A = this chain, B = another copy of it.
Amino acid sequence: MAKKTSVSPLAPAAFPALQPVEGVRFATVAAGVRYRGRDDVMLAQLDPGTVLAGVFTTSSTRAAPVLDCEEKIGGASEAGAVILVNSGNANAFTGGRGREAVSAITDAAARACDVPHARVFTSSTGVIGEPLPFDRITAHLDTLAKALSPDGIAAAARAIMTTDTFAKGAGATVDLGGKTVTISGIAKGSGMIAPDMATMLVYIFTDARIGQADLQDMVSRQNARTFNCITVDGDTSTSDTMLVAATGASGVDVTGDAGFEAALHKVMLDLAHQVVRDGEGATKFVEIRVSGAVNDKDARRHALSIANSPLVKTAIAGEDPNWGRVVMAVGKSGAEADRDQLSIRFGDVPVAEKGWVSPDYDEAAAARHMKEQSIFITVDIGLGEGAATVWTCDLTHGYIDINADYRS
C-alpha cells in the first residue's frame, strides 16, 4: 500500500463551503472494506427526474463498475437515481467475480433506495486484483439510506479518498433569469490515476434543468478542456469515472446556456487542478501553454509531451530553467515543429526565440521563476494558430518514495 503521511504543500487552505444542491442527499459509513477507523462508502441519492451524464476511462482493461456505468449512463428515467462509491478496493481485474460484486451492490442499493437497477451507478477505488468483499457494503445499505442528508457532501469527499492527502471540493452558483443555479462537486485522485490507489473519481451535482443528451455534450466538451488536460505521471487508471447529475430542482433550464457552461467549466477545472496539486510527491504546480502549432491537436501533443517528460519534470523539481529539455520534448512529440521557429518562456522570461537562446535571456530571472510554487512554461511553435494548455506537477523523490514501496 502506498504511504503518504503529510498534506501536499500545494493543497488549498481548506475544503470549500459547498452549497447544498436541491434534490441531492448524502450519507457515508465506515464499512471496513479495507481501511479501519474512517468512512469508506458514500451514497448519494438523487431525486426523481435527475439526469446523469458521465465520462469514463478509455483503458481497455477498465474495471467492472466502469463497464456497468457506461452501459447505463445514456438512459433517462423519471425515477430517482443513486451513486454508490467505495474506497479501499477497486474491484478491477477480478474476472467474473467483479461483475457479481457490482450486481450484488446494485441490487442492495436499488432495494434500499427504491430506484430501478438501471439507475444505480457504482464506483470502486483501491487495490486491484483482489475480490471486493461486497457483503461489507451491502450490509450497510439500509443504514445509509436512512442517514441521507442534504449537507453530507464534505463527508462524502472524505469517504472516497485513497492516497489523497486532502479532500477535494469545488462549487459555483450562477444567476439565471432571477433564479440561482448551484453546482457542487467533489473528486478524488492523487498522482495520476494509478490502478493501485490513485484512480480519479469525480461527482458533480447541480439543480439545473437540462436534457441528458445536452448535459452529456456539455460535460464531454468541458472534460476535454479540464480533466483531459491534466497529467501527473502519464499513467491511466482502470477505474476513472466522472458523473454529473442535474436534478432540475431549481426549475431553471440551462440548455445551451453559456453562463452555466462557464460555471461548470470552473468547477471542473478547479477539481482537476486539485488533483494535480495532490500529485504524488508534487512540490510544483505547472501550467504548460503551447501556441502557434499547426492545429489544436498538435498543440496538445506538444504540451502533453512536455508535461509527461521525466527530464522536464525532474528539471522543474530541481528549479532548473532547463529549456533544452523542453526543446527535446517538443522534438519527440510526433507533432509538427520547426526547430528554428520555436520560442520558449519560463514565466515572463523569454529563454529561447526562433530556435536559439533569447538574446535578452536573463538566467537569474528564469531561475527566480523556477523557485515559485506555480511554474508557467509557454511555448510558441511558430507555425500556425493551434493552441492548448495542460497542467502537471514535478517529478520528485517523493514520487519514488510513494510508488517504490512494497505493497503490504
Contact = CB atoms under 8 A, between A and B. Distances in A.
Interface in A361-408: 395-397, 399-400, 403-407
B403 A196 contact: no
A192 B328 contact: yes
Interface in A33-87: 57, 59-62
Contacts of A252: none
Contacts of A194: 311, 325, 328, 332
Interface in A304-323: 308-311, 314-315, 317-320, 322-323
Contacts of A356: 93-95, 97, 129
A150 interface: no
A257 interface: no
A238 B328 contact: yes
Contacts of A342: 61, 93
Given A60-B331, A129-B324, A327-B238, A314 B93 contact: no
Nearest to A97: B356
Given A400-B396, A407-B322, A236 B95 contact: no
B92 A324 contact: yes
Question: Which 10 pairs show the lowest CB-CB distances between chains A and B?
Answer: A128-B324, A61-B331, A59-B331, A318-B404, A236-B332, A95-B356, A314-B403, A195-B328, A60-B337, A61-B339
